[in-house]
């Protein structure tokens, strides 16, 4: 099979489209012909050598995929269409998928649309509901609202009856966030999100924050939270170190949590997948939830797709078409 490989860490130019051994599925795994996958920030970090795959995972990049079953297991049959989060191996023509995390692709969606769903929507669902405990009538602040996870989180929060505030760095991105259901949008480049949040919530603050930036946002994030608010740390694009004032956590009884979907234990991934399917599959079929695609590249042009993500101009997901 063909796959995207690299021999040493580096910039996108280290990636090459080359022959790779076919994966061997275990007894509870499906062998899948990959039709599409998507680029994630974790792929860029792994390519740079700072985010190695967990033990036992494929060294090939790619944390999600959409394709068709060619070797079945469980109740899945040859030819069934599926999408899934994987711990690695998505940037290839063939991949293995544990049966418990395989999600049927709604009939209304293409493989490219399906590939834009698993990592973004499951990460958003995990942080909004499973860990973030978001309830109808609450208010959530979603940073990086135009990212893959951000666009998914806005839609999921709105579908659950929450009020949504979102940040982004351009008027185009803010407009897309509003189209997806954000009630209030904030351009972090030219206005203080903390001040805007205080104004938009009548100084009450938000109940939940999804943050991808990390240390530079720590102080303002805590200031934005209402009493008993929850801060979910999903990434640290702005850095992970800085001065730490834990006073507001105690003063307002706040909860701060961090997680990575890739290293979530399989039993929890299966439970998350089942909860997501119950909430989202019919909504995806009806078009109430929609994957947001920025651009599509052939798998052989993965380096160009990585360069596009590093420019940080994308709205939604960057897709790699494998077949």
DSSP annotation string for 26-72: -TTEEEEEEEEEE--HHHHHHHHTSSPPPTTS-SS--SEEEEEEEE-
Confidence of residue 244 (pLDDT cuts 50, 70, 90): confident
> Tell me: the pLDDT tens digits for 82-92?
999 999 999 99
Confidence of residue 9 (pLDDT cuts 50, 70, 90): very high
CA 154 from centre of chain? 12
Q: Which two tokens stand for residue 216?
A: 């530079």
Q: What percent of the chain shows pLDDT beyond 70?
A: 99
pLDDT at 237 over 80: no
CATH of domain 2-118+278-321: 3.90.180.10
Domains of the chain by residue range: 2-118+278-321, 132-258
Query: What integer is the mean pLDDT of 37-48?
Result: 97
Q: What pLDDT sits at residue 132?
A: 97
> Tell me: the pLDDT tens digits for 18-32?
999 999 999 999 999
Query: What integer is the mean pLDDT of 86-103?
Result: 98
* CA distances, 318 to each of 10, 45, 133, 156, 215 (Å): 20, 16, 29, 20, 26
d(CA 102, CA 85): 8
Q: What pLDDT sits at residue 259?
A: 86
pTM: 0.96
CATH 3.40.50.720 fits 132-258, yes or no: yes
């Amino acid at each position: 099979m063909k796959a995207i490989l690299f021999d040493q860490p580096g910039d996108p130019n280290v990636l090459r489209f080359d022959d790779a051994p076919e994966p061997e599925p275990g007894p509870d795994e499906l062998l899948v012909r990959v039709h599409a996958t998507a680029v994630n920030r974790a792929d860029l970090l792994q390519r740079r050598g700072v985010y190695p795959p967990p033990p036992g995972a494929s060294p090939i990049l790619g944390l999600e995929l959409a394709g068709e079953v060619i070797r079945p297991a469980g109740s899945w049959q040859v030819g069934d269409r599926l999408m899934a989060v994987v711990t690695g191996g998505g940037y290839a023509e063939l991949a293995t998928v544990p049966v418990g995390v395989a999600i049927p692709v709604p009939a209304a969606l293409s493989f490219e649309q399906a590939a834009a769903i698993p990592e973004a929507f499951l990460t958003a669902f995990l942080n909004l509901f499973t860990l973030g405990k978001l309830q109808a009538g609450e208010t959530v602040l979603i940073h990086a609202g135009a990212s893959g996870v951000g666009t998914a989180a806005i839609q999921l929060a709105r579908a659950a009856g929450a009020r949504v505030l979102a940040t982004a760095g351009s008027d185009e991105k803010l407009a897309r966030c509003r189209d997806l259901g954000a009630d209030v949008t904030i351009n972090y480049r030219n206005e203080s999100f903390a001040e805007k949040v205080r104004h938009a919530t009548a100084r009450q603050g938000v109940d939940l924050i999804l943050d991808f930036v990390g240390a530079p946002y720590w102080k303002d994030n805590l200031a934005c939270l209402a009493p008993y608010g929850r801060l979910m740390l999903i990434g640290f694009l702005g850095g992970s170190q800085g001065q730490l004032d834990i006073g507001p956590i105690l003063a307002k009884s706040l909860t701060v949590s961090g997680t990575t979907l890739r290293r979530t234990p399989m039993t929890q991934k299966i439970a998350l997948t089942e909860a997501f399917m119950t909430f989202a599959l019919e909504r995806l079929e009806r078009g109430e939830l929609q994957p947001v695609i920025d651009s599509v590249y052939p798998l052989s042009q993965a380096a160009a797709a990585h360069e596009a993500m590093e420019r940080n101009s994308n709205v939604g997901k960057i897709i790699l078409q494998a077949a």
